[in-house]
Amino acid sequence: MTEAGRAVAPAAIALRGLRKEFGSVVAVDGIDLDIADGEFFAVLGPSGSGKTTVLRMIAGFETPTSGTIELAGADATRTPPFRRNVNTVFQDYALFPHMSVTQNVAYGLRVKGVGKAEQRRRATEALEMVRLTGMGDRRPTQLSGGQRQRVALARALVNRPRVLLLDEPLGALDLKLREQMQVELKSIQRDVGITFVFVTHDQDEALTLSDRLAVMNAGRLEQVGPAAEVYEAPATRFVAEFVGSSNVIDGAASVALIGAGRTVSVRPEKIRVSGLGDAPDGVRADGVVREVVYAGSETRLVVDADAGVTLTALVLNATGASSQFPRDTRVTLSWSPDSTRFLD
């Protein structure tokens, strides 16, 4: 295939009509998706949305009921897991406590019959990739949670897979460590240059890490695109409400505020708060502050608008403006028409 006169590499992963049924339950319902070579791709969705089932089918741990899976242009739908050029990192890491870090990392090479010297060389190289140089002789119990996570990552990378699948690998870490590991994962992926497919239910994690992401709900894809696009321009009500927080306006309130009977969304940070009647031009909504929620760097104002809808707005505490709008204050909310997103 060519594009503008140049060769185009096949997608690292291509899913066509992918469907998985467990008895009467449809876990994945006809997914079509391409993931590019070298891309950091996140699959985001709530529990039960089908995201882990998709990952397991790509890995070969589940067989599709129908549809196809291509890896680097070759049909792998019925290929057993050990013959696919993919590796998986799970949330529980599954490290052997009686083995050293180096032995854990080299385990897959040993099973394949790779010589001991080559095992150690490649294991050392993989540990360097994940910033664990010099820790090869330790046992997993001597490591922190973040270090164990990186050992599991090194064990997957040592086999030099074309694709690395990560099933909520940061789920067992505390918040601060998760944030640190998000930065590490992105940096490691950029360094090694292979395709990462990252499954998570954490919206912030997906937005932080991914080049592109897919939002899943009830076994189907709701939206696929770059992280900023999915956040700034949600295509459906589900995406608007699940990815970040959003004010969804429909019915009579939509007619009153924007003059159209369509369902729309506007992000809280796009809304300006001012004294009654002081708002600049744009969409306007007068109302009463019902709740004031302090959240460190920002304050959330929950406003019962006269149009019959409850709206949330964010005020940065650095501006000192949050103290101007206590409960029961009448305020005017306003936002640019460009911040109004029409939902399908």
16 and 149, same domain (yes or no): yes
238 and 251, same domain (yes or no): no
283 and 166, same domain (yes or no): no
Give the range of the structural domain holding residue 288, as residue numbers without chain letter: 247-342
Q: State whether residue 308 is helix, strand or coil.
A: coil
Which residues fall within 8 angstroms of residue 208, CB to CB, at 6 or more apart? Answer: 182, 186
What does the pLDDT profile of the chain (344 residues) look like in tens digits?
Answer: 444 554 567 899 999 999 999 999 999 999 999 999 999 999 999 999 999 999 999 999 999 999 999 999 999 999 999 899 998 888 777 788 999 999 999 988 888 888 989 999 999 988 988 888 888 899 999 988 888 888 888 888 888 888 999 988 777 677 777 888 888 888 888 888 899 999 998 898 899 899 999 999 999 999 999 999 999 999 999 999 999 889 999 988 888 888 878 899 999 999 999 887 676 778 999 999 999 998 888 999 999 999 999 999 998 887 666 678 889 999 999 999 999 999 97
161 and 304, same domain (yes or no): no
pLDDT computed for residue 183 by the predictor: 83
- pTM for the structure as a whole: 0.86
- Classify burial at 82, counting beta carbons within 10 Å of its beta carbon; exposed 0-12, middle 13-18, buried 19 or more: exposed
Of 182, 213, 242, the position where a domain reaches its end is: 242
119 and 222, same domain (yes or no): yes
Q: Which tokens in the block code for residue 323?
A: 């103290």
* β strands within 79-219, DSSP E: 86-89, 163-167, 195-200, 212-217
188 and 106, same domain (yes or no): yes
pLDDT computed for residue 339 by the predictor: 92
Of 225, 242, 259, the position where a domain reaches its end is: 242
**What is the number of structural domains in the chain?**
2
182 and 57, same domain (yes or no): yes
Which residues fall within 8 angstroms of residue 215, CB to CB, at 6 or more apart? Answer: 44, 45, 221, 222, 223, 224, 230, 238, 239, 242, 243
pLDDT computed for residue 4 by the predictor: 54
221 and 253, same domain (yes or no): no
CATH number reported for the structural domain that contains residue 336 in this entry:
2.40.50.100
- Classify burial at 53, counting beta carbons within 10 Å of its beta carbon; exposed 0-12, middle 13-18, buried 19 or more: buried
CATH number reported for the structural domain that contains residue 91 in this entry:
3.40.50.300
Of 242, 263, 292, the position where a domain reaches its end is: 242
Please say whether the beta carbons of 11 and 163 come within 8 A. Answer: no
180 and 160, same domain (yes or no): yes
Dihedral over Cα of 239, 245, 250, 255: its sign: negative
165 and 261, same domain (yes or no): no
pLDDT computed for residue 109 by the predictor: 87
66 and 79, same domain (yes or no): yes
216 and 130, same domain (yes or no): yes
